Structure 1
Amino acid sequence: MNDPLDHQANLLGAFAMAVADRTTAAVAAAGEPNPTAAAALSALLHFLDRPTIDQLRRVLGLTPSGAVRLVDRLAEAGLVTRGPGADGRSRAVSLTPSGRAAAERVSAARAGALRAALSGLSAAERSTLDGLLGRVMGGIVAEKEGGAWLCRLCDLTACGRDTGQCPTANAAAVKYGAAAVRRDQPSAPD
């Protein structure tokens, strides 16, 4: 007989791939076929406030030159603008009105694809899944070193970050020795 853990891990892998494929397809249908550009738009909409290109690069897990090329493409498409950064030497990136609309379409498409993936579950089953996924994500955060941010496509309102309910943010707070990040309390150090 096969090891149940191998079966469950394989099922989780297939689920992750199916959700990623459905989300990518929904975002492309909403007008953004490039997953990295979609993540940049989402991050700029949901949690990055006029970041430098380097800050955006770190969120997306890009090289410096890759981030510059991405911002160039987004600027050429009229989705972002560059302006002076906080220190006068850096350049800040901001969504244009067209970029905000595109980011909102990306966010809505992602949310719709994810809600559809859960549509076959009852409220009680979704609640159980919520707890289990939170534990899995906590373990992933504990093991993760570097690379793109896990929340780069997240809607930070939907995840509950503001109220301390995001398992990913809470696991990161534990890992890095900070309090859970809540907007109604002083910010935790990075």
Structure 2
Amino acid sequence: MTKVSNMLGALAIILADEMREAVDEALRTTGETAAALIMLGAHPGVQIGELATALHLTHSGAVRLVDRLQKEELVRREVGQDSRTVVLRLTREGAKRRLVALRQRDRVLERALAHLSDAEAEVLGHCVDKMLRGLLTKKEHGYRYCRMCDEDTCVPEHCPVEERWEELFG
């Protein structure tokens, strides 16, 4: 292990912990609620199985999460393209909570980036782009990578995950 890989691991853990803590505190929740709201807002109409894969939950765990979110009137189930398919969409309240979660996530990340100059942030951006493209190798991981992303920031312009997914599987 190199010092760079060790520092990257520490940074990843710190940022993940701080994002989860900030988002959970703002939403007064725990678990994968915020990730579900963020993902469903960016990808309305996904199925429970896709949500389960993205959040690394069992299918039954995703069903329980959706049941809870539906009870809280944050998510609704709708009939998909055929009567056997159920898709998920945010309610108006779910969309509001999603924006709260994204604002908290952004605060954590902006605080971390504030320690870099504009030039350093640009170099970091190129490095992270390259790393994301290189790490995405499985079709089902596309949603997983972006489950906590503010996709309006990168999509439709040059999202490395979307572009790499299209290259490999589109």
TM-score scaled by length of structure 1 = 0.81
- CA displacement, residues 93-150 of structure 1 (integer Å, 9 cap, x when unaligned): 22112111111111111111111110111111100110111112122114x5756611
Count of matched residue pairs: 169
1:128 correspondence with 2:103: no
What amino acid is aligned across from residue 52 of structure 1 in structure 2? Answer: Q
- In the TM superposition, 1:1-190 aligns within 5 A as 6-46=2-42, 48-142=43-137, 146=140, 149-158=144-153, 160-163=154-157, 165-176=158-169, 189=170
C-alpha distance in structure 2 between counterparts of 1:127 and 1:133, whole Å: 10
Task: Determine the structure 2 residue equivalent to 1:181.
Answer: none
- CA displacement, residues 15-37 of structure 1 (integer Å, 9 cap, x when unaligned): 00111111011101211532411
Q: What's the Cα RMSD here?
A: 1.9
What amino acid is aligned across from residue 17 of structure 1 in structure 2? Answer: I
What is the DSSP-based 3-state SS (H/G/I as helix, E as strand, rest coil) of the residue aligned with 1:104?
helix
Instruction: Give the drift of 1:174.
Output: 2.8
C-alpha distance in structure 1 between counterparts of 2:166 and 2:76, whole Å: 32
- CA displacement, residues 142-172 of structure 1 (integer Å, 9 cap, x when unaligned): 4x575661111111121x2302x11222222
Distance 1:92 1:170, change over 3 A: closer
TM-score scaled by length of structure 2 = 0.89
Q: Which has the higher contact order (CA 8 A, sep 6+)?
A: 2
Where does the alignment leave 5 or more consecutive residues of structure 2 unmatched? none
**Higher alpha-carbon Rg:** 1
* Percent identity over paired residues: 33
Where does the alignment leave 5 or more consecutive residues of structure 1 unmatched? 177-188
What amino acid is aligned across from residue 115 of structure 1 in structure 2? Answer: E
